[in-house]
Amino acid sequence: MSEKILIPILGDQLSMDISSLDGQNPDDCILLMMEVEDETTYVRHHKAKIAYILSAMRHHAKALAERGWSVDYVKLTDPDNRGSFSGEIARALERHRIDRIRITEAGEWRVMAMIENWEDQFAIPVSICPDRRFIATHQDFTNWADGKKQLRMEYFYREMRRTTGILIDRDGKPEGGKWNYDSANRKPARGDLSIPQPIRFRPDAITEQVLTMVAEEFSGHPGSLEQFHFAVTYEEAMRQKRKFLDEALPRFGDYQDALLSGEPFLWHSILSPYINSGLLDPLDLCHEVEQRYRDGDVPLNAAEGFIRQIIGWREYIRGIYWREGPDYVERNFLKAKRPLPEFYYSGETDMHCLSEAIGQTLDLAYAHHIQRLMITGNFALIAGLDPQAVHQWYLEVYADAYEWVELPNTLGMSQFADGGIIASKPYASSGNYIHKMSDYCQKCHYDVTKRVGENACPFNALYWDFLDRNQNRLADNNRLAMPYRTWGKMDSQTRDDIRRQAKSFLDQLQGN
């Protein structure tokens, strides 16, 4: 009798060619997919995020079965469901005669720790396959990072360009002569531009069932299901990808940093949930983007800008996550400890930029990068919110959020809580930046030109107060020399007024 292998497929491993299936004969394998309470509740995930993941899992199970795999699928509502991956592995071992377990490595420390326990826990051999959906292996990242004083994304990105050969010309030089065209990518958007809209997929019967279940079981979780729009199959994700390549990619570069009221998507791809859960392959996507450039359909600044996000930022962020270890989450360089204000869960605030970014997040489980970094992230940073509370919020509310990608972006890039491993300076700004890049301030109760006074934009006083509060930790950062000089040149009355304005705002925020 041939050996029987149990292959658990986790909710973010929804690729037909996931490495755990490499070289396996469907007759010898049972694929186990588990909807479990622990995963749905370890943070209070947005309802639409849960619905997306569970519906995509159910569709993927069906597609695997159609390809001849035996799939054992455990639903959340199964009365015997033990509520955890390990509990469900134990139950599967009771149901089937299994000789060994084979699994693709998990995306985060928490789940890897469980998997590494299984061999002892169940007295069965467990093999863990590397996740081939990333370009750099853990060892590649270590090789690149070891011995470096600073781990800047830009240099890692160049390595990834050389490794993949993407946008490298025949002489081995970067296409167009420059590695990075970011300086061409800073245009503010105007409402009269015609903005492409992503496809909003109509839920099928499987998704409808999941939506009903999620509405019943997770009513206390944040977010709404009313505008559920996600692709839940490989085919739908491919359609969304094509729409992006055809319509939004050509201007992706120009408007990458733009912000506009009532326009949640702009020229972004909205593909991160599919890339992160396995429906789309990141490297294939980059090859297609490169081809669009080579065919003359998109300019270089758009193709390069997009490819950098994936083979640069995404790979780099994952490298940092595994390199920094499970206690990265506890870092708090700036010793920030203010609780998250309630409006992060309601969107109800007079600050229009925040109500836009949070409102659309609660409606769609999506916000684009600049909203995450320069609106919700920037506010949290300059208001001194507890970085762990901020991390938890980001992990909850975005459909693309898994700890490996969310945590370094939030704690490191956005909150500077790692002291500058990712960002060379804090992404802190006053209202001026938001005014320049968006139309938010024109529609706001507050006046972006005022630093103090009744309707002064809170970002202004908070920005200077942030620098002042953190002077002992930040003043020797060269990249902050100019703002610290400006602060130093203000007369003491002005500085006191700003401090008072910030204090009164922060006291109000906490209901004091």
Q: Which residues bind ligand DLZ (CB under 6 A)?
A: 10-12, 34-36, 39-40, 45, 50, 53, 106-108, 111, 402
DSSP secondary structure, 289-306, as one string: HHHHHHTTSS-HHHHHHH
CB-side neighbour CA atoms (13 Å) of 425: 14
- Which region, judged by CB under 6 A, interacts with ligand SF4, from 5-13, 45-53, 294-302, 437-445? 437-445
Between the alpha carbon of residue 23 and those of residues 12, 28, 67, 105, 193, the distances in Å are 21, 11, 15, 17, 50
Q: Which residues contact 162 (CB under 8 A, 6 or more apart)?
A: 168, 172
- Which region, judged by CB under 6 A, interacts with ligand SF4, from 75-83, 241-249, 350-358, 393-401? 350-358
Among ligand FAD, ligand SF4, ligand DLZ, none, residue 431 binds (CB under 5-8 Å by kind): ligand SF4
Among ligand FAD, ligand SF4, ligand DLZ, none, residue 352 binds (CB under 5-8 Å by kind): ligand SF4
Between the alpha carbon of residue 501 and those of residues 34, 245, 352, 385, 494, the distances in Å are 51, 46, 19, 17, 10
Q: Rounded to whole angstroms, how far apart are CA atoms 71 and 245? A: 34
Q: Rounded to whole angstroms, how far apart are CA atoms 300 and 177? A: 11
Q: Rounded to whole angstroms, how far apart are CA atoms 244 and 48? A: 22
Among ligand FAD, ligand DLZ, ligand SF4, none, residue 446 binds (CB under 5-8 Å by kind): ligand SF4
Nearer to ligand DLZ, 59 or 469 (CB): 59
Q: Check binding of 444 to ligand SF4 (CB under 6 A).
A: yes
Q: Check binding of 359 to ligand SF4 (CB under 6 A).
A: no
Q: Check binding of 92 to ligand SF4 (CB under 6 A).
A: no
Q: Check binding of 446 to ligand SF4 (CB under 6 A).
A: yes
Question: Reading across the β-sheet that carries 126-129, which strands appear in turn?
Answer: 70-74, 29-34, 5-8, 100-104, 126-129
Q: Looking only at residues 293 through 352 of this chain, which bind ligand FAD when binding is defined by CB under 6 A?
A: 306, 309-310, 313-314, 317
Among ligand SF4, ligand DLZ, ligand FAD, none, residue 167 binds (CB under 5-8 Å by kind): none
- Which region, judged by CB under 6 A, interacts with ligand FAD, from 71-79, 138-146, 289-297, 371-379? 371-379
Q: Check binding of 311 to ligand SF4 (CB under 6 A).
A: no
Among ligand DLZ, ligand FAD, ligand SF4, none, residue 459 binds (CB under 5-8 Å by kind): ligand SF4
Q: Rounded to whole angstroms, how far apart are CA atoms 392 and 389? A: 5
Nearer to ligand DLZ, 39 or 363 (CB): 39
Binding site for ligand SF4 (CB under 6 A): 351-353, 431, 434-435, 440-441, 444, 446, 448, 457-459
